[in-house]
Structure 1
Amino acid sequence: MAYVPVPKDLSNVKTKVMFNLTKRQLICFSMALVVGLPLFFLLKDRTNTSLASLVMIFSMLPFFMFAMYEKHGQPLEVILKHYLAVRFLNPKQRPYRTNNFYAVIMRQARLDKEVKHIVTGKQSNSLKRKTDKSR
């Protein structure tokens, strides 16, 4: 009887579409083919064949990397997005800030004192004006 290994964790199993490749791999390989072959045929007549094939290989390499590379279940574009966010978009140092409750209470007390001073100052000014008008 034939033995077929069945993985215990089925979340890692990917469905194969054609030629034992996933849909993502087929798309990336097709894009590599669309970019690499015309480049090879354009350069083959102008330069020697080995240089044209090297240029073709290096132009197809990023597509192969996007198709095949995966780390911790994340494809290459997700890893690159995280790297760019950490390296360039987010701040380098994140200062530790706390909400000092005592400082909040002190600010509020200072504001209350200032408001009280303003209110009493206006009342005393308005009383002075009323007394000045009566004279």
Structure 2
Amino acid sequence: MTDRNYIGSCLCGKVQFKITGEIKDIVCCHCSQCRKAQGSAYATNGNVDSDEFRFIQGEHELAAYQSTPKETKYFCKYCGSPIFSKNTLAPKNIRIRLGTLETDIIEKPIGHIFIGSKANWEDIEGKLPQYKEYEPSRK
């Protein structure tokens, strides 16, 4: 297995973190909630084992938003950068926003999800599979 050492941060740099493990289940999510949270056509997210994620600095600079009864999204309270989310149904996972990473990653996205609610002005191109809702491998 290849050693991983990924570094990420928010836009203003007050929140910095490190990932030492694999980023799994990377998807480009086109649901309306991800579009609003990102301010873009979609969010690219991946799962990281919570034991392989740690803050370098700024954990106390995070604000939290409970987007559903089971999910909380965390973002920098200064610049607003979305950093990650946690879901009570998967307590060992941290769902990281890949746009916050500063280092190149080994892993690649596995598909586009929730294309049934994608922005009408967006044309999805490329060879990644597209799913109306969640990808079939999601448990």
Q: Which TM-score band applies after superposition, normalised by the shorter structure? A: under 0.3
Larger relative CO (CA 8 A, sep 6+): 1 or 2?
A: 2
Q: Which has the higher helix share?
A: 1
More strand by share: 2
Structure-1-length-normalised TM-score = 0.19
